[in-house]
């Protein structure tokens, strides 16, 4: 019944609206069927980078007459508040909108960001709720940001409190003693310190005994008692250090939330196999996975892989990359994007290219013209791509394999090793695949060129697997004046 009714309301809604997405009715039916059956679906589509998909979901949730939660971005919440309210009321829906919550006579529909939901213990304790969760492709990033604890030097004292004056002095003495110890272990070029078992044990005992001191100390104590990863980062400028803590398995922190409710997961990836695998490892099942095409004509990405590419561990790799990048931008019109998560390589490429191309070269800055050369990390580009024109070509000197020197990655790998898990294919490779997919997706709109200069893409089985996932694509064998 909900499926038929939702379709009728959506049809009336679209009479006065122009939404050029041919699958909108099919999407609406799938959503209403999932909500009515209390099933858990994963729907993948690049349409979720737009606003065209919002009306079918809102209509189904409004008609369902059961309390529900809609997790979405702050930008989408603002869009609904500014542009959708009157349109929905014109359909005959009678509601009061208060604090991003639609209040009906028999039910409520709450709009909330994942950040606000994670900060609300009452929401995480919900049971038997229908929840639509958009942006699920960012779940690892969102959970890391939420659960990571940062303990700074200022957290070791309570300012202007005579009651804690002696304790402040004691804690600062301990802090300075550890500072001396950590800086003696500093390795040139690396600001991170991995803690040994004795140091972790010391911190566990210290924060257990002093958890009364502050909420931050209490949080650190709880994290250490649960076996969270912890490490130290040194600040050579201020000569101080910070303690960081983060769960190795982020999803385990909210597993009960996923187990106790029914979801419609929406991923803006073309195909999100990683999230499905992620849930299965926690014995959380998805009833159905559906892929929808977006609202643009999908074109094949032009894929160029130069022959005889060097591996990153080759001493000549960096110079080879610089030479190839200079050739690849010759005579090119339109935006060229060079992506690298290696900070040194990214900076060196920007510097060298600027020496010949001048102000055309930008380092993580929004272009204002049409023929710039933009150098950035994968994360920066993903966060800002919606503000930037579609590149004519994307050059990837180095595949976005997570950096092994970052403590959380090293600790996660150690943890998976102890569980006899394939840490490379279960952890590093999926992270690289998601970054690669999200970075190159704009090229499907203009059949732009994707040039990968990392020799591992041809010489490693996992590299060839990454290539197979770049779809649709067509290989090109020649690029003047490159060869």
In whole angstroms, give the CA distance from residue 434 to residue 269: 8
What number of CA atoms fall less than 13 Å from residue 168's CA on the CB side?
12
pLDDT at 282: 86
Domain locations along the chain? 2-145+252-291, 147-246, 301-476
pLDDT at 370: 83
In whole angstroms, give the CA distance from residue 267 to residue 339: 23
Are 2-145+252-291 and 301-476 the same fold in CATH?
Answer: yes
In whole angstroms, give the CA distance from residue 431 to residue 466: 11
Q: Is 474 helix (H, G, I), strand (E, B) or coil?
A: strand
Question: Over its length of 483 residues, how does the chain's per-residue pLDDT go in tens digits?
Answer: 899 999 999 999 999 888 999 999 999 999 999 999 988 999 999 999 999 999 999 999 999 999 999 999 999 999 999 999 999 999 999 999 999 999 999 999 999 999 999 999 999 999 999 999 999 999 999 999 999 999 999 999 987 667 788 999 999 999 999 999 999 998 887 899 999 999 999 999 999 999 999 999 999 999 999 999 999 999 988 999 999 999 999 999 999 999 999 999 999 999 887 888 888 888 888 999 999 999 999 999 999 998 888 999 999 999 999 999 999 998 788 999 999 999 999 999 999 999 999 999 999 999 998 899 999 999 999 999 999 999 999 999 999 999 888 899 989 998 888 888 889 988 899 889 999 999 999 999 999 999 999 999 989 999 998 999 899 999 998 776 655
- Which CATH number is associated with domain 2-145+252-291? 3.40.50.300
- Which CATH number is associated with domain 301-476? 3.40.50.300
307 burial via Cβ count (<10 Å: 0-12, 13-18, 19+): exposed
Q: Is 190 helix (H, G, I), strand (E, B) or coil?
A: strand
Q: What is the pTM of this model?
A: 0.92
Interacting residues of 98 by C-beta distance below 8 A, sequence separation 6+: none
Q: Which residue from 443, 324, 386 is spatially nearest to 51, judged by alpha carbons?
A: 386
Q: In what order do the strands lie in the sheet with 130-134?
A: 96-98, 101-103, 108-112, 68-71, 130-134, 262-267, 41-44, 288-291
């Amino acid at each position: 019944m909900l499926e038929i009714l939702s379709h009728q309301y959506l049809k009336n809604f679209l009479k006065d609206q122009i939404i050029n997405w041919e699958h909108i009715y099919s999407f609406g039916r799938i959503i209403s069927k999932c909500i009515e059956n209390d099933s858990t679906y994963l729907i993948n589509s690049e349409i979720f980078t737009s606003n065209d998909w919002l009306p079918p979901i809102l209509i189904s949730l409004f008609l369902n007459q059961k309390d529900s939660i809609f997790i979405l971005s702050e930008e989408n919440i603002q869009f609904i508040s500014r542009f959708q309210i009157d349109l929905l009321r014109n359909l005959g829906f009678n509601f009061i909108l208060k604090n991003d919550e639609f209040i009906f006579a028999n039910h409520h529909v709450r709009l909330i960001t994942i950040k606000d939901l994670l900060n609300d213990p009452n929401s995480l304790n919900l049971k038997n709720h229908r929840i639509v969760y958009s942006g699920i492709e960012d779940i690892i990033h969102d959970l890391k940001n939420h659960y990571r604890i940062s303990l700074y030097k200022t957290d070791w004292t309570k300012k202007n409190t005579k009651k804690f004056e002696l304790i402040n002095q004691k804690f600062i003495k301990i802090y300075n003693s550890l500072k001396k110890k950590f800086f003696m272990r500093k390795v040139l070029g690396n600001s991170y310190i991995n803690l040994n078992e004795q140091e972790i044990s010391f911190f566990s005992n210290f924060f257990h005994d002093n958890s009364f001191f502050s909420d931050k100390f209490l949080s650190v104590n709880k994290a250490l008692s649960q076996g969270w990863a912890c490490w130290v980062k040194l600040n050579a400028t201020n000569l101080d250090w910070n303690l960081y803590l983060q769960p190795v398995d982020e999803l385990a922190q909210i597993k009960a939330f996923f187990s106790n409710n029914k979801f419609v997961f929406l991923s803006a990836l073309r195909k999100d196999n990683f999230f499905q695998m992620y849930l299965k490892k926690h014995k959380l099942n998805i009833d159905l996975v559906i892929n929808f095409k977006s609202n643009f004509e999908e074109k094949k990405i032009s894929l160029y892989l130069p022959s005889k590419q060097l591996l990153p561990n080759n001493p000549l790799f960096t110079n080879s990359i610089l030479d190839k990048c200079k050739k690849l931008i010759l005579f090119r019109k339109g935006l060229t994007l060079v992506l690298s998560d290696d900070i040194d390589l990214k900076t060196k490429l920007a510097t060298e290219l600027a020496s010949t191309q001048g102000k055309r070269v930008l380092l993580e800055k929004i272009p204002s013209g049409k023929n710039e050369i933009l150098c950035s990390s994968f994360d920066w580009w993903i966060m800002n791509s919606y503000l930037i024109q579609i590149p004519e070509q994307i050059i990837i000197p180095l595949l976005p394999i997570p950096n092994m020197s970052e403590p959380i990655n090293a600790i996660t790998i150690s943890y998976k090793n102890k569980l006899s898990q394939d840490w490379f294919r279960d952890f590093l490779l999926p992270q690289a695949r998601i970054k690669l997919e999200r970075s190159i997706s704009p090229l499907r709109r203009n059949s732009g060129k994707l040039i990968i200069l990392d020799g591992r893409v041809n010489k490693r089985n996992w590299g060839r697997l990454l290539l197979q996932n770049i779809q649709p694509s067509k290989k090109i064998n020649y690029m003047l004046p490159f060869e």
